[in-house]
Chain A
Amino acid sequence: MKQLNQYKRNKRAQDEMVGFALILIMVAVIFIVIISVWIRKPQEKTVNYEANSFIQSLLQYTTSCEEDYGNLTVQDLLAKCKEGNPCYYNDQMNQQSDPCKILNNTIREIVKASWQTGVNSSIKGYSFNINISEDGTNEEQFINIKEGVVTNNYRGGEQDLPPERGSWEYAVILFNVYS
């Protein structure tokens, strides 16, 4: 009889321990699920006014591509590059007249001067893309400039360009800065 009581007490203690362990496991699982959902939550891209202002200012920059009506802005040069005609006066003066080369160099230099990347800088890298769609459906990467490293912490801006007859139906500038 005494042995039976001892057995029953041990059995109950075991049951309680198993119950406690189950509760702990359940809580741990719930906790892990919450944490994994939290971590896996896709990083939201912060729309950055600074990046947007940068794109706006860049589009207004006066380039070295010269036509009879004056020097072209980056926005005008983009259309000229798509058309494929050389810059008229540059051609006459034996200077660089390929609009695409001027466009690429100008954007590259301006982005480099404005967003300095490096190990000691808070900016680790950037990417600058211009995507163009001639028919409004198929998008092609027209300009792609990258520098530094890509991180999960980034902010960016984008700017749609109005349709340009004969050049594109839809164009968008995407600029991301990685910290």
Chain B
Amino acid sequence: MKIQQMSFMLIAVFMFFALVGMIVVTLMLSHIRDSATQLKEQNAKLMASRIAGSPEFTCGEVYGSVKTDCIDLDKVMALKLNIDKYTKFWGVTNIQIRRIYPPIIINNQAREVECTNTNYPRCNLINLVSNSNSGYDRSNYVALCRKEKYNDEVVNKCEMGEIILRYQEAGTK
């Protein structure tokens, strides 16, 4: 009888500890999962920065000293003319460059105007690569710099923008 009581007691204590352990492990796992998602997110954003820093996009020393997160818009417009050779070069399905500030205001509303050779630089959206409508987007902030003629002089002009990359989802083509 006593052995039976003791075994019941032991089982109860064991189950109690197991329950507590399970709760703790669940909490820890959810924390690790959050960290993993965060790391994945950071990695994708870093990829946007890496592409912005590639020779085809970066400002280099054209606008003074070497700057990070700076895209030369004049270079990008030239690249847009020959983009057929580069469609699969960066391993992403879409590359979009959007000016955030200053906005283009038409009829008191902020509008998106896609850049072409005729309206550049009075535009705020460059669709450089557009291969897919599906997938997931990742973006990062960049300075969009260009040369501008002002009072018979060529001056530097940098604005706030973002580079948006689209990746194909895993398992889809």
- A residues adjacent to B (C-beta < 8 A): 16, 20, 23-24, 27, 31, 34, 38, 46, 48-50, 53-54, 56-58, 60-62, 70-71, 73, 109-110, 113-114
Known pairs A31-B20, A56-B69; A38 contacts B143 (CB<8 A):
no
- Show 6 A/B contacts (Cβ-Cβ < 8 Å), sorted by A: A53-B142, A56-B70, A56-B143, A61-B143, A70-B156, A114-B100
B16 touches A27 (CB 8 A): yes
A62 touches B160 (CB 8 A): no
Question: What's the tally of chain B residues with a CB closer than 8 Å to chain A?
Answer: 35
B17 touches A49 (CB 8 A): no
CB distance from A53 to the nearest CB of B (A): 5
A49 touches B42 (CB 8 A): yes
Which residue in chain A gives the minimum CB-CB distance to B155?
A70
B143 touches A57 (CB 8 A): yes
Partner of B49, one of A16, A23, A49, A109: A49
The residue in A53, A54, A71, A73 that gathers the most chain B C-beta atoms within 10 A of its C-beta is A53
Q: Does any Cβ of A come within 8 Å of B11's Cβ?
A: no
- Interface membership of chain B positions 109-152, coded 1 if the CB is closer than 8 angstroms to chain A and 0 otherwise: 00000000000000000000000000000001111010000000
B residues in contact with A57, CB < 8 Å: 69-70, 141-143, 160-161
A residues in contact with B45, CB < 8 Å: 49-50, 53
- B residues adjacent to A (C-beta < 8 A): 5, 9, 13, 16-17, 20, 24, 27, 38, 42, 45-46, 49, 63, 67-70, 100-101, 103, 140-143, 145, 153, 155-162
Distance, CA A159 to CA B3, complexed state (A): 68
Which residue in chain A gives the minimum CB-CB distance to B31?
A38
Distance, CA A101 to CA B45, complexed state (A): 33
A109 touches B142 (CB 8 A): no
Report, nearest first, the 4 A-B pairs whose CB atoms are least far apart: A60-B143, A57-B143, A54-B141, A113-B101
